[in-house]
Structure 1
Amino acid sequence: MVMRQKIYSISAAFLLLFLTVFSSFPAFAAGGLEFYTDYPGISVKAGDSQTISMYVSNTSGSGLDADLSIVSIPDGWEGYFSGSGSQISRVHVENGAESTVTFNLEIPEDAAEGDYTVQLQATSDTELTDVTDLVLSIQEVQYGQGSFEAEYPEQEGASGTAFSFSTTLVNNSAADQSYSLSAQAPAGWQVSFQPSGESTQVASIEVAAASSEGLTVSVTPPENVEAGDYTIPISATSASDTLETELTVTITGTYALELSTPSGLLSFDAHANRESDVTLSITNNSNVDLQNITLTSSAPTDWTVTFDESSIEVLEAGATQEITAHVTPGDSAMTGDYVTTITASCSETSDTAEFRVSVKTDTIWGIVAIVIILALVAGVGAVFKKYGRR
């Protein structure tokens, strides 16, 4: 019994000594060489090209060279190692360090759905080896209806503004598609399509399978467009798909009023204290109707200006209305040129026209003056004739 206890005591002492000695050494990974990746299981698609970062860690106690190899790979798949832009088969790793290499994998287009394993190996010149398994899961791609969408489908601005819509055309089919592009715009509107980042206008565009392309849609309304909301349907049509979306443009009001005469002539003749008529033309160049347009004037002292209509209740966009102005120079107006100003205005806009008025002297007064002068001359002559002989 005593002997057995001694044996137990000696065994315990040796075990404690063993643990104490070996616990003073640093802990290394098994074999001193480790070959791994951060993501050993990933989802991929048939036809993919994958680049996977792999790490070779050395804790062997000295630097080493490690051979890199593919232990197993599915039929039809291709892979190789690369580093610094070149294909490699070996990597050097200093003790206590880690080197990064890239494993390049090409998956065939006809790869079926399922899980696949690629086994990779790193073997040092000191016969240290580590193997890692990459598990790649191919899932069936879910194809469906494509889409044609605008980032901001509603915009607003004044007439004459060029609108630009950023759109994305998505091909969700399993095959490349060629899409014809079209728009149904109101008469006089211009619509064009440009690939994103380009200035070239296109009528069609190629979109690869399960991918998308950006398009810029430029919309320009005519100069005389009326204020309001306008909807412009656009579409992309391929042999198997028709994708549609709508763009909305809101044209805000622009206001412009023009005052002139039907002939455009802004001058006329007049006589003192006599009324002269001038036909005015008032044109609404706005894209909205104008209301309560009033006519006012500014003329020389003692002149009068009246209108057969001093206001217009409503003048539709693009319409012209004629009104007669009656201008009467004052009694004392001398022969010469004068300026009379007429203004058409409403709450939104106005326009002013300056008229040059040439005041003329009546011819009859000149004739009367000549007759008087001749009469005086004749009278004087008669007096001299009668009394001159005496």
Structure 2
Amino acid sequence: MLTQLSNLKNYRIIRALFVLVCLILGVSAHTLAQNQNKKKSAFTSRLLNVAGTTNETFRYNSTLTNGKPFTQNYSLSAKLPAGWQVIFRAEGVSVTALQVDSNATKDITIEITCPATTKPDTYKIPVQAISSADTLTLDLEAVVRGSYGLEITTPTGRLSDQIVAGGSKEILLEVKNTGTLPLNTLELSSQLPTKWETSFSPSNIEQLQPGQKADVKVTLKVPDKTIAGDYVSKMIVRTSNHETTAEASIRITVKTSILSGWIGILIILAAAGLIYYLIRKYGRR
């Protein structure tokens, strides 16, 4: 009998210990799961180094994480070189501050632009997200390769000319690379009044090095019976991959030919003579 009681007591003790161990293990597992799910405050970006030209936007896709047990408001800022600009976008909207819930993340697109005169180099750009409890820094780099620049004008800078209706005119254009990077495969085109025609010689330029110029001759043809007056012809040059484009608007004054003028005068005189003859013949009746 005593042996049975002793065994029963030992069984209860073992069972109690077993339940206690299970409770301890359960609490530990729950705590571990919570710690694993808990996020740490951070400001990260998929790309830290972006290369481009001064004509392009340096774009970084970043993520802001709030690891605190409460909602936070983060103000966004960037330390930029003089003349540079930055835009922060969240869900496609430009923002300067952002609210992030506890243990949540927000995607932020950082868009940085630089002046056209920026020298080729690697520029470090510290970006910060600051709240009452966090100061998070993201160190970005913008590698500026140079700039694309293009200009089309005339050698004298004069953007006006005259032409007789029904005739043609040769105009000399000058195309110049005003950037710091080479330009390849430049194509020439025009926007003209209805039925006007142009032809370019050459019609494309294979390459222009920085600072280099190229002369282009354009032949402009105006249809007969074009009404005298001022018209605008637009000359356009662009690279084949649309890196850059330039245009020049040339004012063309159309005049009637001398022959057309004399014909008009003769018609007027003939009409006046006919009227005079009719008056003399029928006016007395």
Q: TM-score band (shorter)? A: 0.3 to 0.5
TM-score, scaled relative to structure 1: 0.33
Q: Which of the pair has more CA radius of gyration?
A: 1
**Structure 1 or 2: larger helix share?**
2
TM-score, scaled relative to structure 2: 0.44
Higher RCO, 1 vs 2 (CA within 8 Å, ≥6 residues apart): 2
